Amino acid sequence: MLTAPNQPFDIGPLYYTVAPGPWGLMGLAASNKGLIHIQSVTPSEKAYVNFLKRSFVNTPQKDSKRLKPATDQLRLYLKGKLRSFDIPLDFITGTTFQKQVWRKLASIPYGETRSYAWLARSVKRPNAHRAVGNANGKNPLSILLPCHRVVQSNGNLGGYSGGLHIKRYLLELEKTGRASL
């Protein structure tokens, strides 16, 4: 699902590309400092560009070459051939709390899961399970910041903004090295 913030952000030059993924097209956007957004499913390049126009003051410029390292690493990850990413990130959106949650997501090891309760305790807000879940849902860099590795305390999947089929796919991929749609 494509959702734009209430107020567009001004980040300077804004670059984007779309690339094929296991669920259709994926959109990626970057500033001069690093990757700022991944959309695991976008209906079309035009839809992704429109999302970026609503979200940022700056006109998006297609630059597949600039975003090639990110798309290459995502392809390798989605084939089960890469376990960690080496891509500069630029946290330009989100509240201080959301950014704290997103940074903590990066500490969850490949192939493992943690609960929303664990995540809340990790950011020193032990009773903020719902707020942590909401921050997960607004993660602009899903897959790289692995919000799919966060599940309910009882082992149920919980939610995933890209859809539970994608969360299941990513967890299966990390568990077995391959996944099916």
Annotated catalytic residues are 147
Q: Which of 43, 14, 44 is nearest to 29 (CA)?
A: 14
Helical (H) or strand (E) element with 5? none
Quick one: how far is CA 18 from the chain centroid?
A: 15
Residue tagged 């080496």 (tokens) = 86
Report how far residue 46's alpha carbon sits from residue 41's, in angstroms, rounded to the nearest whole number. Answer: 13
44 phi, psi to nearest 5 deg: -165, 165
Q: Which of 53, 54, 56 is nearest to 31 (CA)?
A: 56
Q: Look up residue 139 and give its amino acid.
A: N
Report how far residue 58's alpha carbon sits from residue 71's, in angstroms, rounded to the nearest whole number. Answer: 22
